[in-house]
Structure 1
Amino acid sequence: MPSWNSRGLRGSMLEELINLTNTRYREKELALIQKVPTPITPINIDKDNRHITLAYFEQKSTVDYIGVVQGIPVCFDTKECAVDTFNIGNIHEHQIEFMKEFEAQHGIAFLLIYFKKRDIYYYLTFERLLTFWNRALNGGRKSFRFDELDLTYQIPIQNGICVHYLEVLKIDLERRE
């Protein structure tokens, strides 16, 4: 069973930016998005500081965020990528299944990926994620390259909102119609 502190801070800066963005969206009444807490079982607790120093995940998490944007249910996961190649192994089968079921209920699922090398935030549609996922399952590449992505889905930083993914969600919605 994995320890929560072994990989727990990976992506924390991205999540902090997303949290700030979601706060702004809520303040502007554009969206109500919540971070999904990962259930843990504490093993060691520093009684003096009241901090958990070792814990284990109770169950597999689904996605990082879930909520509603102007009446549209959305869920998404956040990932960071240090290079131009994103390993599909960073996505788990239970996450794909959850997103698939979410979309079957007329919700919108996606990934927000931060490509560190390029300092680019990217909105990966579930449809495109599924294409890469299926390619890997069928013996193809187990990753996708930045140059395989449609730059229309690059997320702008504007209007005082850190990672303004609603602008790109709008493009996703328009293309689904």
Structure 2
Amino acid sequence: MGTWNSRGLRGSTLEDFVNRTNEYYMEKNLALIQKIPTPITPVRMDKEHRQITLAYFEQRSTVDYIGVVQGIPVCFDAKECVADTFPLQNIHEHQIEFMGRFEKQEGIAFFLLYYSAKNILYYMRYEEMMKFWNRAKKGGRKSFRLEELDPEFFMELRRGSLVPYLDGINKDLDVREQKQK
């Protein structure tokens, strides 16, 4: 069990964008995606501001979002970083294991990465993440660089805040279909 100590809203930009996108997709009947809250036990409260200042995680979270896109089960995690190098320590083994099990059940698991300094979005397929994860497990780099990523899966925000991850899912499905042929 980890301790959570409030340090502002780390990673909240991407989360806000994804939440708005999920609302938009739901209104258009394109997808139904829910944010999965991480259960915490408050330890210390700032009563004046009605905020939790110290808490313990009750259990490990699996992914940030889960739902269905036109009959296809999906789960994904949203990660924000500033540098061009993404440290794999930002992803936890239990998340990788959950996503692997999700994929075995014929769901689609992926990561949304937001490189905030460059305003770049990336849809990372589970299979691609596993390439980097396994490389690290074998003693290789414990991170991956922006230039190592598949150019086909970069995305741009739409209307300033919409994350077009349905486009990423479509490309992901195309890749899967090609591999089956």
**TM-score (normalised: structure 1):** 0.93
Q: State the Cα deviation string for residues 6-51 of structure 1 (Å, max 9, x = none).
A: 4562111110110000000000000000000000001123445543
Q: 1:115 to 1:38 in 2, by over 3 A?
A: same
Corresponding letter in the other structure for 2:22? N
In structure 2, the residue corresponding to 1:152 is in which secondary structure?
helix
Q: Distance in 2 between matches of 1:163 and 1:107?
A: 20
Contact 1:156-1:165 at 8 Å conserved across structures: no
Q: 156-165 or 120-129: which moved more? A: 156-165
Unaligned stretches of 5+ in structure 1?
A: none
Q: 1:8 to 1:138 in 2, by over 3 A?
A: farther
Task: Tell me which residue corresponds to 2:163.
Answer: 163
Query: RMSD of aligned C-alpha atoms?
Result: 1.7
Instruction: Note if 1:71 corresponds to 2:71.
Output: yes
Residue 72 of structure 1 deviates from its aligned partner by: 0.3
Unaligned stretches of 5+ in structure 2?
A: none
Q: Distance in 2 between matches of 1:50 and 1:86?
A: 34
Q: Distance in 1 between matches of 2:35 and 2:52?
A: 20
Q: Distance in 2 between matches of 1:73 and 1:106?
A: 8
Residue 4 of structure 1 deviates from its aligned partner by: 2.2
Contact 1:77-1:111 at 8 Å conserved across structures: yes
In structure 2, the residue corresponding to 1:132 is in which secondary structure?
helix
Task: Tell me which residue corresponds to 2:16.
Answer: 16
Q: 162-171 or 6-15: which moved more? A: 6-15
Residue 5 of structure 1 deviates from its aligned partner by: 2.8
Q: State the Cα deviation string for residues 98-138 of structure 1 (Å, max 9, x = none).
A: 00000000000000000123210000000000000000000
Task: Tell me which residue corresponds to 1:93.
Answer: 93
Task: Tell me which residue corresponds to 1:113.
Answer: 113
Task: Tell me which residue corresponds to 1:51.
Answer: 51
In structure 2, the residue corresponding to 1:4 is in which secondary structure?
strand
Instruction: Note if 1:149 corresponds to 2:149.
Output: yes
Q: Which runs of 4+ in 1 moved over 2 A?
A: 1-9, 45-53, 156-161
Question: Identity of paired residues, percent?
Answer: 62
Contact 2:6-2:54 at 8 Å conserved across structures: no
The 5-angstrom pairing of residues 130-141 of structure 1 reads: 130-141=130-141
Corresponding letter in the other structure for 1:175? V
Q: Distance in 1 between matches of 2:24 and 2:92?
A: 30
Task: Tell me which residue corresponds to 1:25.
Answer: 25
Residue 159 of structure 1 deviates from its aligned partner by: 6.1
